[in-house]
Amino acid sequence: MERKKDAFQEDTVFEMESLYYFCEVEEEKGAQHLDDYERALGFCPHWVTPLEAMEKNLLVLQEESAHNLWVKRETAVLKHLFLYLKGVEL
């Protein structure tokens, strides 16, 4: 559970629970359904391995650790996923 002072509303606490699930995907790609801010930022899928994503996140953390606080959490999840896929028990 992430809990912190809300950056946009005074006297408000931001809470977020991140849940992760294993799933299967199909080769067929569908259309994106983006929020306005995602569209404005040019969000688009870029398929990488968990290791590639983890390595990129570690670079981001070295350069911008205070700016992207969520990257630390996602990097920890990617590490667990990478080890799981390699058959390492945690």
CA separation for the pair 56, 37 (Å, rounded):
23
Q: Which two tokens stand for residue 47?
A: 């398929």
pLDDT by residue (tens digit) across 16-74? 899 999 888 888 888 999 999 999 999 998 889 999 999 999 998 888 655 677 888 89
User: In terms of pTM, does the model score above 0.85?
Assistant: no
pLDDT of residue 66: 59
CA separation for the pair 57, 69 (Å, rounded):
11
pLDDT of residue 26: 86
Task: Show the DSSP H helices in 12-68 as ranges.
Answer: 36-40, 50-64
pLDDT of residue 65: 58
